[in-house]
Chains A and B, each alone.
Chain A
Amino acid sequence: MSRRIEQLFGCMAMSLVLVLVAGMGAWWWIDRATVYERPRWDEASFEAIAEAHAARTAAETWVVAVNPSCAHCLAGMSALADTLGSAPGAPRLFALVVDTAARPAKRSLSHPRLDGVFWDREGVWRARWGHRMYGEILRFDAAGDWIDVPRGG
Chain B
Amino acid sequence: MVSLTSRFAALGRAPRASDPTDSPRLPWPLPIAPTLLIAGVILYGWWRAVHQQMVPMPGVAGDPRIAATLATLARLAGNALEAAFYVLSWRAFGHRIPFLRLYAWITLLSGADLFAFEMRQHFLETRGAVPVAAAIVSGIGGLPGSWLPRAFHAAFASTGLLTFARIAFTARAQSLATGVAFGRTLVFTGATWLLTHLALGFGYALLQGRSMPGLP
A interface vs B, CB < 8 Å?
3, 6-7, 9-14, 17-18, 20-21, 24-25, 27-28, 31-32, 36, 62, 65, 71-72, 74-76, 78-80, 126, 129-133, 135-137, 139, 147, 149-153
1/0 contact string of B180-216 vs chain A (CB within 8 Å): 0000000000001001101100110111111111111
Contact in complex: A72, B57 (CB < 8 Å): yes
Contacts of A151 in B (CB 8 A): 212-216
User: How far apart sit A24 and B144, CA to CA, in the bound complex (Å)?
Assistant: 26
Contacts of A7 in B (CB 8 A): 3-5, 91-92, 94
In angstroms, how far is the closest chain A Cβ from the Cβ of B96? 8
User: How far apart sit A31 and B14, CA to CA, in the bound complex (Å)?
Assistant: 43
18 contacts between A and B (CB under 8 A): A6-B92, A13-B84, A14-B88, A14-B92, A17-B192, A20-B199, A25-B202, A28-B202, A28-B206, A36-B210, A62-B216, A75-B59, A130-B210, A133-B207, A137-B214, A137-B216, A139-B216, A151-B212
Contact in complex: B213, A11 (CB < 8 Å): no
1/0 contact string of B114-139 vs chain A (CB within 8 Å): 00000000000000000000000000
B60 at the interface (CB under 8 A from A): yes
Given A7-B91, A7-B94, A78-B59, the answer on whether A152 and B214 have CB atoms closer than 8 Å is yes
Contacts of A129 in B (CB 8 A): 210
Contact in complex: A9, B198 (CB < 8 Å): no
B47 at the interface (CB under 8 A from A): no
Contact in complex: B91, A6 (CB < 8 Å): yes
Interface centre among B84, B144, B202, B213 (most CB of A within 10 A): B202
